[in-house]
Amino acid sequence: MQTLKGIVVEKINVKLPDGSTEICLSGKTVGETLSSRCGDAVTSAVAARVNGEIVDLSYPMDEDAAIELVGISSAEGLGVLRHSISHIMAQAVQDMFEGVRVTIGPSIEDGFYYDFEYSDTFTPEDLEKIEKRMREIVTANHPFIRTEMSREEAVSFFENKGEPYKVELINDLPNDVTEVSLYSQGGFVDLCRGPHIPSTGMIRAFKLLNVAGAYWRGDEKNKMLQRIYGTGFATQEELDDYIRLIEEAKKRDHRRLGRELDLFQMNDEAGPGLVIFHPKGALLRTIIEDWEKKEHLRRGYDIVMGPQILKVDLWKKSGHFDHYRENMYFTEVDEQLYGIKPMNCLAHMLIYKSKIRSYRDLPLRYFELGTVHRHEKTGVLHGLMRARQFTQDDAHILCTPDQLNAEIRAIADLVDYAMGVFGFTYEVELSTRPKDSIGSDADWDLATAALKLALEDNKILYDINEGDGAFYGPKIDFKLKDALGRKWQCATIQCDFALPERFDLSYIGADGERHRPVMLHRVILGAIERFMGVLIEHYAGAFPVWLSPVQASILTVTDNQIPHGEAVYNQLVDAGIRCEKDFRNEKLGYKIREGQMQKVPYMLVIGDREVESGTISPRQRDGSNLGSMDVLDFVSIVNEKCDKYE
- Give the tens place of pLDDT for each residue, 145-167: 999 999 999 999 999 999 999 99
How large a percentage of the chain has pLDDT more than 70? 95
Residues 205 and 277 in one domain: no
Average pLDDT over residues 329-335: 93
Question: Contact at 8 Å (CB) between 309 and 294?
Answer: no
Tell me, what's the pLDDT at 571?
96
Q: What angle do CA 181, 184, 190 make, to 5 degrees?
A: 60
For residue 177, the one-letter residue type is V
Residue 246: inside a domain: yes
Among the options 285, 521, 530, 591, which is catalytic?
521
Residues 501 and 616 in one domain: no
What mean pLDDT is reported for the chain? 91
Q: Residue 14 and residue 64: Cα distance in Å, rounded?
A: 6
Tell me, what's the pLDDT at 42?
59
Q: Please name the residues in contact with 117: beta carbons below 8 A apart, sequence gap of 6 or more.
A: 100, 101, 103, 165, 223, 225, 226
Catalytic site residue 320? no
Tell me, what's the pLDDT at 72?
87
CA dihedral 272, 278, 284, 288 (to 10 degrees): 50
Catalytic site residue 345? yes
- Give the tens place of pLDDT for each residue, 281-319: 999 999 999 999 999 999 999 999 999 999 999 999 988
Phi, psi of 280 (to 5 degrees): -70, -40
- Give the tens place of pLDDT for each residue, 465-489: 988 888 888 999 999 999 998 899 8
Q: Residue 613 and residue 585: Cα distance in Å, rounded?
A: 23
Residue 323: inside a domain: no
Among 592, 526, 523, 529, residue whose Cα is nearest residue 557: 592
DSSP state of 321: H
pTM (2 d.p.): 0.83
Which residues are paired to 514 by β-bridges?
508
Q: Residue 117 and residue 516: Cα distance in Å, rounded?
A: 54
Q: What angle do CA 317, 318, 319 make, to 5 degrees?
A: 95
Residues 425 and 460 in one domain: yes
Catalytic site residue 374? yes
Catalytic site residue 495? no
Average pLDDT over residues 360-381: 92
Residues 13 and 55 in one domain: yes
CA distance from start to end of the chain: 79
Answer yes or no: is pLDDT of 414 > 90.
yes
Among 550, 551, 434, 431, residue whose Cα is nearest residue 491: 431
How remote is the C-alpha of 406 from its chain's centroid? 28
Residue 353: inside a domain: yes
Tell me, what's the pLDDT at 5?
39
Among the options 374, 479, 530, 599, which is catalytic?
374
Residues 11 and 118 in one domain: no
Question: Contact at 8 Å (CB) between 88 and 187?
Answer: no
Residue 380: inside a domain: yes
- Give the tens place of pLDDT for each residue, 121-144: 999 999 999 999 999 999 999 999
Answer yes or no: is pLDDT of 547 > 80.
yes
Of the three residues 71, 103, 132, the one that is the final residue of a domain is: 71
Residues 160 and 298 in one domain: no
Q: Please name the residues in contact with 65: beta carbons below 8 A apart, sequence gap of 6 or more.
A: 12, 13, 14, 15, 50, 51
Here the CATH number for the domain that contains residue 194 is 3.30.980.10
Here the CATH number for the domain that contains residue 620 is 3.40.50.800
Phi, psi of 552 (to 5 degrees): -150, 140
Tell me, what's the pLDDT at 115?
96
Residue 261: inside a domain: no
CB 221: neighbour CB atoms within 10 A? 7
Answer yes or no: is pLDDT of 41 > 60.
no
Among the options 394, 443, 477, 582, which is catalytic?
394
Of the three residues 205, 221, 251, the one that is the final residue of a domain is: 251
What strands, in cross-sheet order, belong to the sheet with 336-340? 309-311, 336-340, 329-333
Here the CATH number for the domain that contains residue 26 is 3.10.20.30
Q: Residue 638 and residue 548: Cα distance in Å, rounded?
A: 11
Average pLDDT over residues 496-506: 90
Answer yes or no: is pLDDT of 69 > 60.
yes
* Domains: count for the chain: 4
Q: Dihedral of CA 242/247/251/256: which sign? A: positive
Q: Residue 127 and residue 110: Cα distance in Å, rounded?
A: 18
Tell me, what's the pLDDT at 7?
41
Residues 107 and 241 in one domain: yes
Residue 146: inside a domain: yes
Binned at pLDDT 50, 70 and 90, residue 1 comes out as: very low
Tell me, what's the pLDDT at 555?
96
How remote is the C-alpha of 69 from its chain's centroid? 29
Average pLDDT over residues 348-373: 96
Q: Residue 230 and residue 236: Cα distance in Å, rounded?
A: 14
Helix, strand, coil in percent for the chain, rounding step 5: 40, 30, 30
Q: Which domain holds residue 625?
A: 552-642
Tell me, what's the pLDDT at 2?
36
Residues 377 and 421 in one domain: yes
- Give the tens place of pLDDT for each residue, 504-537: 999 999 999 999 999 999 999 999 999 999 999 9
Tell me, what's the pLDDT at 105?
94
Q: Residue 205 and residue 61: Cα distance in Å, rounded?
A: 31
Of the three residues 17, 38, 71, the one that is the final residue of a domain is: 71
Residues 180 and 291 in one domain: no
Residues 475 and 559 in one domain: no
Catalytic site residue 348? no
Helix (H, G, I), strand (E, B) or coil at 148: strand
Which residues are paired to 492 by β-bridges?
477, 523
The count of C-alpha atoms lying within 13 angstroms of the C-alpha of 308, restricted to the half-sphere facing its C-beta, is 10
Residue 267: inside a domain: no
Tell me, what's the pLDDT at 554?
97
How large a percentage of the chain has pLDDT more than 90? 77
Among the options 91, 185, 226, 392, which is catalytic?
392
Residues 82 and 63 in one domain: no
Among the options 396, 591, 619, 621, which is catalytic?
396
Among the options 24, 192, 345, 490, which is catalytic?
345
Among 202, 218, 437, 445, residue whose Cα is nearest residue 323: 437
Minimum mean pLDDT range among 68-72, 296-300, 623-627: 68-72
Residue 324: inside a domain: no
Average pLDDT over residues 439-452: 88
Q: Residue 162 and residue 155: Cα distance in Å, rounded?
A: 11
Helix (H, G, I), strand (E, B) or coil at 10: coil
Here the CATH number for the domain that contains residue 505 is 3.30.930.10
Binned at pLDDT 50, 70 and 90, residue 18 comes out as: low
Residues 39 and 160 in one domain: no
Binned at pLDDT 50, 70 and 90, residue 12 comes out as: low
